[in-house]
Amino acid sequence: MIPIDRPLVITDTETTGLSPVRNRLIEIGAIRIIDGEEPIRFSQLIDPGESIPYRITRLNGITSSMVVGCPDASEVIPAFEQFLGDGILVAHNLRFDRGFLNAERERLGLGQLQNQGLCTVRLARRLLPGLRSKSLGSLAKFFRIASHGHHRALRDVEITLEVLNRLMGIAFRDHNVESLDDLLEMQTRTYGRINPFSKHILQIKRDILPDVPDFPGVYQMQDGRGRVLYVGKAKVLSRRVSSYFNAIESHTPRIRQLVSKLRGIEWFQTDTELEALLLESRLIRELDPPFNRAQRRTTPRPFLRIASDHNFPKIVANVFPKNDGAEYYGPLRSRGEAQAILEVIERIFPIRTCSDREFTIGKRCLRADIGRCLAPCEGSVSKAAYAEQMDRIRRFLHGEVEHVTERLQLEMEESSKALAFEDAAHTRDILAVIEGRTRRTGKVASRIFEDDAAILHVDLDLKTNDVLLIRSGRFAASLKRFDPNISESVKALRALIAEVYVERNEATRGSMRDHANEIRVLLQWLYANRENVTRIDRDLDATLDDFSEQVCVLAK
């Protein structure tokens, strides 16, 4: 880092206007720093001898009443000069602040400040030329600096100090600036001397970027040894990949570090954005690139499980589905959401919740006593009657929720009337879970491994339909630019449906963990594009020709 071996006095002023000749100072804030010493602060309101315009008060919150009785410039300017001493005067737009300080000094018969100056605006223009705005607020946002209290002098000084530290880091790391003298000299350099492009960046822009296609897909960024550093997806590969090499200095430090290391780019073109998303997710899990953080690990998503090896099954929450013949519904967003849905099922449907060991004992439980379990452990219900309850639960999970939500609404109202507000709030929360799930997907939870459907996705750019086929809850195939009015397009759809739902061998399609992760990605994509998709669930009792015809009708 650049050593601060001389005092830096970071300064900001608040004024009654923009003209040093016509307007006056109303506040000075400053912080004096030097390596090895604690920062010293200076903050003083100034009575300008005139009223403060309302527009200025709206900007910085300083009113005329706040400065009445405060020292005037004849007291504050000498005190600030003593604070400044021989330090380097630092400000964001130094010309403005120095201009007002010198104007006040001239009114007092003092000479102009002779201290060296360092302007963070000038530094930002040279170190971050790709950043559109160099205002203090824009730089604070770019560097993720909290700007609460912005437009009071001392708070602006604190923000300017943070910005200066970040700019000094860039100057040291990227431009070999090792002293304050070098930093002072940098603010006067021409832009051409400040922004040399690395040879590898020029080579990539010349030899690789022109070949990147204008299609959806996945790109891999590699270092000089061919190791994959980053995997990303794009709706338009050429646009996304090129963005890394436009205004490089305005990117986040992590992206700038990635660009400095990469030496090659490979890409895989896909037909649709969804296919790119799925491929990206799979490659990130397989390759574990160091610059990918969001998807490096699969977030465990719970599923609801109905056992198939018991005459009187119960429902539990599992993190990952298994190849055990059970029914799985999900994935759900969190364990809390899973528990909320389980609670609804146990409150509305009289099924057992006991363990298999407790069931074999055959002792009646409290849930049976209060009417929330049919007590199959005592033989109080037939297998067929219990199976009917399980079918009701399946229909509820598939979206038939009206009777359940009406029951919950009634319970919430009864709790409120009884002044049991905590119970009412809890019921309201689980009701919100059910309504939120059905609003997003049309179902409380989809049954995986048996969820077949076609998705009509409207391409807003081309004004055409893409058909995405889902088999067993996973993306299976796509048909771009489907037009139900063109016979060849309809033939292509029928052939693709036959291939996906008849010819393909489902047993070879990856692990259960992969299956669950692909379902999660698919559901997220469907929700993000909910305004532009239409889902057609496949009726397993209908023929594939009927399914194709249904897709064609909805596409017209």
Which residues are known to be catalytic? 151
Contact 160/145 with Cβ under 8 angstroms? no
Contact 163/120 with Cβ under 8 angstroms? yes
CA distance 46 to 106: 17
- Please count the other Cβ atoms lying within 10 Å of the Cβ belonging to residue 30: 25
CA distance 215 to 235: 7
Residue 521: closest CA among 285, 215, 289: 285
State the DSSP H helix or E strand holding residue 405, giving kind and residue range, or none if neither: helix 402-417
Angle at 25 between CA 19 and CA 31, to 5 degrees: 120
User: What one-character DSSP code corresponds to residue 190?
Assistant: -
Return the axis-axis angle of helices 487-498 and 544-555, rounded to nearest 10°. 140
Q: Supply 294's token pair.
A: 């969001």
User: What one-character DSSP code corresponds to residue 224?
Assistant: T
* Cα 221 to chain centroid, rounded: 22
What are the two backbone dihedrals, phi and then psi, of residue 32, each rounded to the nearest 5 degrees? -105, 125
Which stretches of 116-214 are assigned E, i.e. beta strand? 117-119
Q: Supply 96's token pair.
A: 């403005």
SS3 91: strand
What is the 3-state composition of the chain as percent helix, strand, coil, each rounded to the nearest 5? Answer: 45, 15, 35
SS3 457: strand
CA distance 43 to 62: 14
